[in-house]
Every structure is written in C-alpha cells, then in structure tokens.
Amino acid sequence: MKVVFQTFLISQAWALGLDVSVSDYGAEPGEAGLEASTSAFRKALSAVAAAGGGRLRVPPGTWHVGPLNLTSHLILWLSSGATLVADTERKRLPVLPALPSWGPSSGPEALHYRQLLRREADLRDAIPRYQPLLWGHKVVNVTITGENGTIDGQGVDWWSRWLSEPLLGRPHLVQFEASKGILLRNVTLKNPGFWSVHFWRCEYVAVQFLSILILPWEVPVRPTNTDGVNPDSSSHVLIEDSYLQTGDDAVAIKSGWDCFGRKLGIPSRNITIRRVTVRQTRECNAAAFTVGSEMSGGVEDVLIEDCHVINAGVAVEIKPGSGRGGFVRRISVRRLRVEQTLRAGLAVMATYPEANPFCHGSSPPPPKVSDISFNDVQIDGPCLGPMVKFEGTPEVLIDNISVEKLRGRGIWSCNDRIRGFAKDSDGLVCKALRPQRKISLRSASERKQVPKLWRNDGRCGAGFPVKGGIPARCPTPEMFAAEVDLPSRHNVEDFLSDAPCCAESGWCGKEALHCSCSGCIDFRFVHMPQGARAPSQKQNRNPTWPNSQDAPAWLTDFVKQQEEQMQRHSPAFPKLPSEDPPTTESPAQLLHRIARQRLQERQLLQQRQQVEVVPVAPKIDESEAPVSSLGTGIASLVAFVLIFLVRRYVPGASKQWCCRTPQICVGSLLLITALQCLFTAVRQLQPSPIHVDKQAAAVVRDDAVLEALHSTVTSSEAIDRTSSLASSGMTPSCHLGQREITPFDFGALGDGATDDSEAVSSALRYGNDCHAPVVIGPRQKVFLVVPSRLQLSLRNVAVRFDGYLLGPTLKSWNPRLESWPKGSCAYGEAGCSSRGGPSPEFARSQWALLHLQGCRNVTLSGAGGLKAPGYGFWSVRNTRPQVRGYCLLKIENCQDVRVTGLTFRDSPMYQLVVAKSQGIQLTGLTIRLSNMELGDAGAHNTDGVSIIASSGVRLFSSVIESGDDNVVVKEGSRDIQADGLVLRRGKGISIGSLGERGAEDQIVRDASFHNVSLDRSMHGARIKTWKGAHGLVRNISFSMFRLMSVRYGVLVDQTYCPPSQRPEGCPEGQDQAIQIEAVSFNDFSGTFTHEGRRVLCVKCR
C-alpha cells in the first residue's frame, strides 16, 4: 500500500498584515469579561481579515469568550498561561445547519429532527448544531499555535445536560469546513462539549504536538462522544506527535452518514497518523483509532504507525455498517504498541447497527471492505475481549485482510465472511486466515480400506505434553482446536469421523468432541513405506536402508522395539492386512520419523534425570515359585482323576496298556509329575534379566541412537560410533538435545515460593553449552531466584521469558538490614571519602537478580520478565538508604545483547542496568511500579534504565515508570540513542549525576533522546553534576518532548549534592564544575506545574 502525504507551507501571516493582541481591542480576563472579550476577539479578527492576514496574540490569563469565526491567513497565537474558555449559555450561541453529508439542511425535512430529539439522543451533525468555539468556514491558511495555551470547552456542562434534557447538536470545540491549509500545533484542548476537532471537507491539514484532555479524570458524568480528532471527507491529513486523552474515539476517520454521505460522495483519503499516544477515560469502550462508522463517502489510503495505546476499548477498530455503502480500502497499521483494551485488541466488523433516521426508501447498499493490514502489533496488557475480532456479514465480505507479527495473549474471533492470511502471530489464528492445505477426503468405505499401523483420533492432544507416551491429561476443546495446524493432525483428518477416543482404561466413545476421560493415549497414523510389503512370517521385517545397504542390527532392533511398543499400547486396534499399504514414505523417512517421535516423547518426560543402569545379580523370583508349584500339583491331580475315570467308566479301558493295572496308572501319574517338576526347576535356574528403571533405561539406551537418527545419518562411521555409544551405556553431555529447555528440565517447581536458582542457572548454562533455546516458563510460572546466584557468561543464546523470575523479600534476603560493603561509597557508609577511582554507581548495582557478565550475542525476549517485592525494600530504604538492595537485570561487560518486550516490576533498586557494555539494544520494554509516589513516600533509587560506562546503546519504544530517573546516562557513556519512550512519574531523562566523590571518567557525549512523552514526572530533561567535579558533557540532544503536568520541563543543575549519598555535605565556594557544551533542547510542548525551564549553571556554554 502506498500512502501519499502532500506537504504544504504555512506562510508567516503577520508579515502580510497585522500583529496584534486582543488586549489592544479591550479584552478583559475573567468570567466577568465575557462580553468585552468576545467583542474584542471579533473586532481583532475583522481587523486581521481587512489587513489580508496577520497574527492575533492571546496574552496569559483566562479569557471567557463566545463562538468566534476565524478568517483566512490567520495565526492565532496562545501565549504560555493563556486559556480560552467557551461560553455554554445556549441563548447566546448561534445555531449552524446540518452538514450536507450528514442530514437534511433545507425544506420541510429540516423540521423532522424535532420529533427525534430526546435526552441522550445522538444525531451528530445530522441536525442543527450549536456553533463551535473556534469555527472556520471556507478559510485558507489558518494556524492555531503558540506556547501551549489551552482551549477549554467546559464540556461537563454539556454532558450533564445531554443526560437530562433534549438538545440540539452539542458544539465541537474546533471545527473547519471546506477549508485548506490548516495547522493545529502545540496547544491543549480541554473538555469539549462534543468532538474536540472536526475537519469537514478539508485539504492539507496538519495536527502536531496537540494535547487533548478530558478532566477531571474521574468525571462526575460520562463524557459521551468526546472524540479527539475527526477527519471527515478530508484528504492529505497528518496527525502526529500528540497526546489524546479522550472519552470516546481518539481519532475517527469519517465521510458522511448513510444516504447523505453517499449522495455527496467525497471520501477521506491520504491520512497519516503517527507517534500518537492515546489514553481514554475510565470504562470507555471506544477505540483509539477508528475508521467509521459513518463512512458512506468512502475511506482509503490510511496509515497508522508508531503509535501507543495506553488503554482503550479497542486499539484499532474498522466498523463499516452493513448498510452504509461506500468503501474502506488500503488501511495499514504498523508498529503499534497496546497496553490494555476492554472489548478487543484489533477489530474489523461490518455489523455496526446504527442507521441514519432521515434516510428512507430503498434498501441501503453494503460497503466494500478490502486491503487491510496489521503488521508488528504488540499487545502487552490484558484484553478483556478477544485479541482479534474480524466479522463480516452476509452482505459484506472483508477481503484481503492480513495480520503479521502480532504479539499478545488472547483469542481470535472470526466468522466465515473474511478472507486473507495471518502469519508469525501469537494465539490460535482464525481458520479463515490460516494457510489452506489440500486434504483428500475419502468415503467411509475407502477409509476402511486404507491400511494403518496405528491411528489417532485427533482428539487426544496431538501436540499435548506426554509422559511415557501418554498425555499427562486430556485436552480441552480449545487445545483440540489449537492442533489444527499440526502436520500430525492433517495426516489423520480423513479418519476423524471413525476414530474413537482411547484411554488406558478402555474406550471413551467415538461421539465426543474431545476426551472426557483421563489418561488419553496419543497415537499417530503411520503408513508403510512405498514399495514395501506388509511383514509376514516369511519376510524380513527390516526395511530397506538408504543407499541399498542393509541396516545395522542395532537399528533393526530399535525399529522392532518401536513396533512392539505400539502394539502393547493399542490392543484394541485392528490387525494389519496382508495387502501393501499405499504410502509415499521412503524407508529412511519411516525410520527418521519414528526416531523423531520417540525422541520427542522422551524429551517431554517430567522426570528427566539420568539414571545409571546397575545390573542386579540373577535371582529367583520368589513370588513365582509358589505359583509354579501349585500349578504342578493341580496338573498332577487332574491327570490322576482323568485316568481313574477312564479306567472306571470306559468299556475296555482297563485292558489297554496304559491302564491295564492300577500300578501302571500310578506309575504314569508319577512320571508326569516328575517331568513337570524337572521343567519348573530348569526354568527357575535360568539367569533372570537385569532389573532397571524402564524409563531411565530407555533414556540411556536410546539417547545416542535417537540423536543420530534425529539428524541425517549418511555415513557408516557415524552409525558405528552411535552403535558403540549405545552399547556402552554412555550419554553425551547435551542429553536433552537442542529443543527448548526450561527450568523444569532441571527440577524447578515454578511456584514462586521454592528457591529455583539452581534449576534456572542449569537451564541457562545448558542452553549456552549445547546451543539450545531456553524458555523461562511456561506462562504464569514464577521462579524464585536469589540475587548473585545467576551470574552467567552466555554466548550465542536466545532466552524467551514466558514466565517470571521473582526476587526474594527483604526479610528473607537481608533480614539483618546489612549495609553496603565498607568503603564502597554506595550510600555514604563508613570509609568513604573524596577520591578517584571507579564510580560508586558500580557498587550500587553489585547485586542483581539476573547478572549477565561477559556475554556475547544474547537475546532476551518474551511477554514475561523479572519482578520483585520491592515495596518491602522501599519502606526501609527511603529512610535508611545504606540498607542493601538489588537490581533486576544487570548487563555488564557484554556485547551485542538484545532485550525485547520484557516486563520489569517493582525492583528494590535499579530495574535494568547496562554497565561497561557495547552494542546493547533495548526495545519494547515495560517497566512498572506499584507505588507511583514521588518524594519520601515513593520508591527511591528505582531508576528505570541506567546506562553506565557503555556505548552503542539503543532504547526504543518502551514504557517506563519509576520512583527516580526513568532513564539515566552516567559517566563513561557515549553513542546513546533513545526514541519513542513513554515515561510516567519518575524524574524523566537524566544525564548524571556526574562527578560524585571525584570518580574517574566523568564524561558523557553523543547522546540523543527523541520523541519522548512524559506524564506527571518531576522533570522532562535534566543534566545534574556534583559540586566541584571534573568532566565533560558534550553533544547531547533532546527533541520532540511532549509533557503533561511536569514540574520542570528542562533542568540543568550543577549544584547537585543529595545528603543520602553524601551525608557530610559538599564543600562550598568552589567554582570548579563539569564542562557542559553543545546541548540542545528542541520542540518541548505540554503543561508545567512549576517552570518550563530552570538552569543552575556554573560552567556551561
């Protein structure tokens, strides 16, 4: 898809005419000055229009005004601290007619709306509407900007009225109609009556650094329909770098409502939305980004990229109603980060029910929906609804929809009216979006004629973990559905209707959708090799070996053992026919597949411990001796009774030789008894087999054999080596192969209460030594580990966190509240003095839950992460910082380490530390604290990402909460880049502190921080150096910072000396300081509670 955004230039309008202030025309601040201010604004706008353009300045203060008509070639400049407050008295507000693409505007139909008005009626722009505060009709080249002034719509008054009485259309806050060249930049819009910004039939529109706030956060009435920015039948629209906190859709792209929109027929097209952060009010079910539902004129060529949704009803929703008409096509969403949704993560639905009450007559046409793509979407938080919801209708087919690289937890919900594909995505993908495989369907009679060795009904968990060849428990219907894409499932698809469900205790019945009994046996279809005959008594059962060579004896025995095991586990299955079964498998493929299956079963055993096979001395089974003796006696007694009866009742029997005399009969009986005793004695004197643990013996015996078969065996030398290894009873060091390794393979419990440090360490070391992927999981498993127990040097390892590593409590880890080592100068403990040497920062991070040392080419990723009960530490360390704490993750002396998507929660101290490392990439991190307070009641020293003496560090697209610095770069660091960060609470981004106790290498240079959003933090960007320090800060760039309720936007402090780190204080009267040069702060916008900037500079240039 190609999305084109045509740029345009906003001229310096005041160069064409006036540059005036509303105060020059008699405006008066305050509510009492409503009439005077309204008159002054209107006079000033008329003067600008008469001059052909100009700038109208609004000085600091609160200005109550009525609706204003904007003029062309205007710059409306809101100074810092200036607030425009909208008049809400309906008697003083002009009424505008309905928009042509929404409702009737003339004739007798225009009065029909009066019959529809009622409280809570939502007729939008289809009825006459009160005029917005700022309204531009057919204007050109208009800019609303300044020093982040505020425009307040007093929406609470409108929301409460709408709930209790019939109303005409509530007013938008800012609206442009049929206009061109509109720029809305660096302003804050607050509490609109209806939509915040509405562009109808506009071209070349740019919205930049816009803040929309629905306040208070806990509103007394629900702010219904308080959309953010709505392009409507508009083209070439750019919305970027903005923070939208709304009570409804944050951005909704529209093009008219039903018959009126189809009649006008002007689509919305070429719309780009990027780097926008969305947060919605409590219990808001709306979407962050929406197409529709009023899109009857059509919507095409929309790009949404690099956006962040903190919470919303739906992250992205495309909702064309089935009777809207029009079209929706070429919609692209990429690199989207979502934290929490209520209804769904991604939604495309053609079932939106609302219809325009003014449209009557013929049945409405269905819309055409096609070419919708979602790529690289990360849904971190919970989805109370489905993660994906795609639903067409009988009239609307959603065509060519694609989903790639979707990460998250949740289900997919789709119907059969969608077409497209999905790949490389989490969850059970909708059937309509899966790659279609051709499966030959046979009749019942043909299925019965197909020979099978053993079969699987597909309902007993084709991919479910097994123990000894038997699934640990029966799968749920969801697990059964999850098997659809497995090759083993497709191989048996033809036979599902006739295959019953089997368990250890018998048959469970063939009608159930899945096994309801316990102990289900998991079998597979195995067809005989092509060209081979079914084994018979006269045939050699050994299959043909590749390259026309006979298979070795050990391999033939192995295949026989597999077949015997199959027969033992499936006694009720039909016998093999003597016909040649049709198959396409070669002999080598058969052997390799059997070996792989056996290897997988062995690898999934819950008790994976190597057991040494110890022969047991031959012995007679005493439990069998009484049985044998008893059998001999019974046989003799039966023989005696038969002889007696024959001789007594059969005529002529007494004259035969065997029963001629009683003595001969007794002798025959004694001879039979003696032979039986001799046979029993010989059998019991034979050596008994070796008694071993069967499960462990299978592991030891088959380990080398299966590993050799799992890879392609092509040489006789490899076969001989494997055979000798198997016969010797030895196992290689990498006995678990190169499958995914978990701590459970080494005895972990994963209950969050038992120390699993050794098991986790063993799993990571095994992955390092054997080049196997490691999984800290599965999901919802928590592994308790002790700091300093996981100090590892990994190479070329990928670790996926599905679960969490959990740190210990303060009481269990440091019950005596011990301090830092003497002389370390971590927090002013004994033995500290002003000196050179390493920075005390290295001492503060010496304990870590996971400590990677000297690592190369390591990847940590996944939806899990690391967490700790930090709140127990904070309450103590806030007043006693010398008490030891630990970090969650420390990367030290490493190269080429990637950390992607992990979550860090409630660290006692620093969350993530990068020290003395190069080439570290941190992407998509989520760092959270349960205590978001600042100051003495907060979580001290819980820096989010701390970078010390490192280079080439990249930090992208992350959400970081902190009780201290969200991101901090300290001494010895260079070439640092950060982009796309969302920082909450904490102290923002800091350079330093630098120069503590005369430490060496106090230099930070070449760092860039771009596109950063900060919410209620203490600082935006800060540089802090100690008094009297030596060093250099050079070439640092802070750009595109969006600030919300930040205490100081920019702070440069060269007088830093906190008592927690230096109780004795710093020397006074020193003019020495770290040199600060080539530092830039660009494009800072937002709200400040104290000052926009504060500079306490001693040596800056």
Q: How does DSSP assign 226-264, residue by residue?
A: --SEEEES-EEEEEEEEEEEESS-SEEEB-B-HHHHHHH
Using CA atoms, how far apart are residues 79 and 58, in angstroms rounded to an integer? 6
Q: Torsions phi, psi of 713, nearest 5?
A: -90, 115
Provide the CB-side half-sphere exposure for 989 (13 A, CA): 30
Q: Which two tokens stand for residue 665?
A: 């009969």
Residue among 784, 938, 962 at smallest CA distance from 873 = 938
**Three-state DSSP class for 1045?**
strand
Name the band, by pLDDT with cuts 50, 70 and 90, for residue 632: low
Neighbours of 436 (CB within 10 A): 8
What span, in angstroms and rounded, lies between the C-alpha atoms of 180 and 274?
21
The pLDDT of residue 625: 44
pLDDT at 452: 35
Q: Are strands 95-96 and 129-130 parallel, antiparallel or unpaired?
A: antiparallel
Euclidean distance between CA atoms 1043 and 1087, whole angstroms: 6
- Taking every pair of Cα atoms in the chain, the longest distance, rounded to a whole number of angstroms, is 150
Q: Give 882's pLDDT tier (boundaries 50, 70, 90).
A: confident
Span 794-803, average pLDDT: 93
Q: Which of 478-492, 776-790, 974-988 has the lowest mean pLDDT?
A: 478-492
Q: What is the DSSP string of 495-532?
A: GTTTPPEEETTEEEESS-SS--SSSB------PPPTTP
DSSP states of 827-866: SS-TT--S--SS-THHHHTS-EEEEEES-EEEEEESS-EE
Instruction: Give the CA distances from residue 267 to residues 148, 229, 954, in Å, rounded to whole numbers and listed in that order.
Output: 32, 17, 41
Which comes out higher in pLDDT, residue 836 or 569? 836
Give the sign of the dihedral formed by CA 255, CA 257, CA 259, CA 260: negative
| pLDDT for position 463 | 40
Q: DSSP letter at 171?
A: P
pLDDT (0 to 100) of residue 715: 35
CA distance 1095 to 711: 66
Higher-confidence residue of 688 and 857: namely: 857
With residue 491 as reference, give the H or E element that holds it.
helix 487-491
Please give the angle made by the CA atoms of 725, 727 and 731, to the nearest 5 degrees: 40
Residue 185 has pLDDT above 60, yes or no: yes
Amino acid at 629: S
Least trusted range by pLDDT, from 336-340, 519-523, 869-873: 519-523
Q: What pLDDT sits at residue 998?
A: 64
Contact 499, 521 (CB under 8 A): no
Mean pLDDT of all residues in 727-754: 77
> In this predicted structure, what is the pLDDT of residue 163?
83
Q: What is the DSSP string of 766-794?
A: HHHHHT--EEE-STT-EEE--TTS-EE--
Residue 812 has pLDDT above 50, yes or no: yes
Give the up-direction half-sphere exposure of residue 469: CA atoms within 13 A in the CB hemisphere.
Answer: 18
Q: Above 60 in pLDDT, residue 449?
A: no
Q: What is the pLDDT of residue 662?
A: 63
pLDDT for residue 922 is more than 90: yes
List, as one string, the DSSP characters of 864-925.
-EEE--HHHHHHHHTT-TTB---EEEEEES-EEEEEES-EEE--SS-SEEEES-EEEEEES-
- Mean local confidence (pLDDT), 574-603: 46
Amino acid 578: pLDDT:
37
pLDDT tens-digit readout, 837-850: 566 777 788 899 99
User: Phi and psi for 770 in degrees, rounded to 5?
Assistant: -110, 5
- In sequence order, the 6+-apart residues with CB closer than 8 A to the CB of 346 are 314, 315, 316, 317, 333, 374, 377, 387, 388, 389, 403, 406
E strand or H helix that includes residue 553 = helix 553-569
pLDDT at 1062: 65
Contact between 456 and 462 (Cβ < 8 Å): yes
Condensed to tens digits (0 to 9), the pLDDT of residues 27-71 reads 999 999 999 999 999 999 999 999 999 999 999 999 999 999 999
- Predicted pLDDT at 580: 39
| Mean of pLDDT over the chain | 76
The proportion of the chain whose per-residue pLDDT surpasses 70, expressed as a percent, equals 67
Higher pLDDT residue, 420 or 439? 420
Span 5-22, average pLDDT: 57
Residue 896's pLDDT band, with cuts at 50, 70 and 90, is very high
| Span 107-118, pLDDT tens digits | 445 555 556 777
In sequence order, what E strands does 424-560 have?
A: 466-467, 470-471, 501-503, 506-509
To which residue do tokens 């502190």 refer? 993
pLDDT tens profile 367-384: 999 999 999 999 988 788
**What sign has the CA pseudo-torsion 129, 131, 134, 139?**
positive
Average pLDDT over residues 1034-1053: 88
Burial 266-303 (b: 16+ CB within 10 A, else e): bbbbbbbbbbbbbbbbeebebbbbbbbbbbbbbbbbbb
- Local structure of residue 30 (DSSP, 8 states): B
pLDDT tens-digit readout, 220-257: 678 889 999 999 999 999 999 999 999 999 999 999 99
Q: What are phi and psi of 350, to 5 degrees?
A: -105, 30
1046: buried, middle or exposed (CB in 10 Å: 19+, 13-18, 0-12)? Answer: buried
Is residue 855 a contact partner of residue 793, using CB atoms and an 8 Å limit?
yes
For residue 240, the model assigns a pLDDT of 94
Under the banding of pLDDT at 50, 70 and 90, the label for residue 167 is confident
Over 70: is that where the pLDDT of 498 sits?
no
